[in-house]
Structure 1
Amino acid sequence: MTTAKLFRSPKDRRTTPAGEIRHVSLNGKEVAYTLKRCKRRTIGMKIDSEGLTVRIPLRESVCWVESVLQNRADWVVEKLDEWKSRKSSEPVWEEGAVFPLLGEPWRLAAIATGVMQMTRATMKAGAEDRQMQLPLPSVLTARQIEKIVMDWYRNKALACFSERLALYADKLGVALPQLRLSHARTQWGSCNSRGIVHLNWRLIQMPLHLVDYVVAHELSHLIEMNHSPAFWQAVGRVYPNYAEARKELKRFG
């Protein structure tokens, strides 16, 4: 059973141009929310990067609003936690930040010569310490660091994806397609009838076996432009563990 403790002190009610800021305790957590009154007949709740926003009819009471929040406490807390987790996973554009490459962490660091470099953050015994030196001043803005890292990702992605496309095109017996990097929000890759394969640049952050799965998947569309049993047979010929890779890739979002 969910419970909500209502806060009534004046400090918990602050009016801003965007609405009235209030607080309520849901499932033992103090939750701030923005209350907006507008011409509508029902309550509306939105949770995004700005937190919880509640829209209500002009004459509706706050007691009714907070009773609704009490009934939806589990959902509200869960969604707020999801956004908090999403924010914590966003990249930090500063020296010392760690960025994944093919499933391994790399760290951005400054060296004595005034040069920035990307170096392996964790190393296994006996592994080669690979580095990418960046001939730039050691004092950089967040925007400059972001550009450095994104250029680094782009170069690594083009090299890696080109190599894997050539490998799996040969295995499948299909012509080597054109490669284009994608910034899609909901797709890891796509292939069209003109023989152009789009691969999401974020794949370069994933372990190599997941890159290979997406490459094998998209190249198989050059044989079957669908997801029929014949298509999955084509994928399975060059990537037998595709079902496990699909599940693993879904966990990354």
Structure 2
Amino acid sequence: MQRLLQLTLDMFGPEPTATVPAPRQQPDPAPAPAASASAPTPTLPPQTLQEALAPATFRHPRATREALLDRVAVAYEFRRSKRRTIGFSVGADGLTVSAPKWVPLYEIDKAVAEKSRWILDKLQETRARHERLESGRIEWKDGATLPFLGEPVVLVIDPRHAFGGVGAELKLSEPADDMAALPGVAHRTLHVGLPHHATPDQMRDAVQAWLMRQAKRIFTERLNHFAPQLGVQWRKLSLSSAGTRWGSASADGSIRLNWRLVHFRMSVIDYVVVHELSHLRVMDHSPRFWDTVRAVVPDYAELRGQLKDEGIPRW
């Protein structure tokens, strides 16, 4: 059986793990003093944890330890694992620290203090990103705005476009010539063939069906455009609704792309398409792989950053 190797792009997953070497096993000395940038607080009893962590600026919902980093209280999830190093990751919930079972707690506290600048930067970036996503949440109603290929589009409930008794026909109208040049203003309208009393769920489902059809068409065109440039051949395209992945590629030529990419500008879509096609030549993320991507998309790093920073609209 041909070995299938799948590689993915992260969408909402946690930040890359930062690691520090774990010290050699040694007996625990006396308990560490109270939390500070040089000596974080030791483990708190479960029954008092919620009360003790109440003032924390950043608090993980499964926090079991707390540290004061540069005058900022950080309550984090602590895990014991089989890994060889102390690792730090920052995701939507907050900071998680993982360490080998044999590393004493005072060494964990020391490592957290040493990584305080990195931890605070990542926590602040994650919080800002979450606030941007929440502010862009789509409220499904007549007149709602959603992005399509990087431009705002106004949703119009228009029963005239319904057919067969089912609200499934959508029409994208172009802006007038004298309005098209205004940046950041929605001039395009998406006419949804639904009755005016349609529910938000019906609007959402109708728009999603239309967007997925557009995604299939656009992705196919871009795959066919870039595959010859990379000297590869793709065989199958599947649409994904994954919550944490933009795309994936398999050694047999199968490509999966998240349909929500149609919210982004075409240049961002092209980066993801080239990324996955490049895996058909180099099935890893080695320097050779990134050189392959760069040969077709020289500004891939900037586009990759936009995927990470902007995220997708909340539905």
State the TM-score, normalizing by the size of structure 1. 0.64
2:244 alignment partner in structure 1? 186
1:107 alignment partner in structure 2? 154
Cα gap change, 1:90 to 1:226, in 2 (>3 Å):
same
Cα gap change, 1:120 to 1:251, in 2 (>3 Å):
farther
CA distance in 1, matches of 2:286, 2:239: 26
Show structure 1 runs of 5+ residues with no match. 1-38, 47-51, 57-69
1:201 alignment partner in structure 2? 259
Structure 2 residue 289 is the aligned partner of structure 1 residue 231: yes
Tell me which amino acid in the other structure corresponds to 1:252.
E
CA distance in 2, matches of 1:111, 1:225: 47
Aligned positions, number: 197
Structure 2 residue 227 is the aligned partner of structure 1 residue 173: no
Give the fraction of aligned pairs with identical amino acids, expressed as a percent: 35
Report which stretch shifted further, 130-139 or 204-213: 130-139
Cα gap change, 1:120 to 1:107, in 2 (>3 Å):
farther
Query: How much is the aligned-residue C-alpha RMSD, in angstroms?
Result: 3.8
Determine helix, strand or coil for the equivalent of 1:188.
Answer: strand
Report which stretch shifted further, 135-144 or 214-223: 135-144
CA distance in 1, matches of 2:296, 2:156: 39
Report which stretch shifted further, 192-201 or 220-229: 192-201
Show structure 2 runs of 5+ residues with no match. 1-44, 55-59, 65-70, 77-93, 95-123, 182-186
Deviation at 1:228, TM superposition (A): 1.1
Q: Map 1:13-162 onto structure 2 (within 5 A).
A: 40-44=46-50, 72=73, 86-111=133-158, 113=160, 119=172, 125=178, 127=180, 132-162=190-220
Contact 2:238 2:255 (8 Å CA) reproduced: yes
Cα gap change, 1:85 to 1:43, in 2 (>3 Å):
farther
CA distance in 2, matches of 1:216, 1:90: 29
CA distance in 2, matches of 1:231, 1:183: 26
Cα gap change, 1:130 to 1:97, in 2 (>3 Å):
closer
CA distance in 2, matches of 1:112, 1:202: 26
CA distance in 1, matches of 2:296, 2:131: 40
Q: Give a deviation string over 1:79-128, Cα, whole Å, max 9, x none.
A: 98876654332211111001110001111113484758555697664759
Cα gap change, 1:136 to 1:231, in 2 (>3 Å):
same
Contact 1:109 1:118 (8 Å CA) reproduced: no
Report which stretch shifted further, 203-212 or 234-243: 234-243
CA distance in 2, matches of 1:84, 1:118: 32
Deviation at 1:136, TM superposition (A): 2.7
CA distance in 2, matches of 1:214, 1:96: 31
CA distance in 1, matches of 2:137, 2:171: 18
Q: Give a deviation string over 1:130-151, Cα, whole Å, max 9, x none.
A: 6654433232111100111111
Determine helix, strand or coil for the equivalent of 2:305.
Answer: helix
CA distance in 1, matches of 2:231, 2:258: 23
Tell me which amino acid in the other structure corresponds to 1:103.
G
Deviation at 1:177, TM superposition (A): 3.0
CA distance in 2, matches of 1:220, 1:80: 32
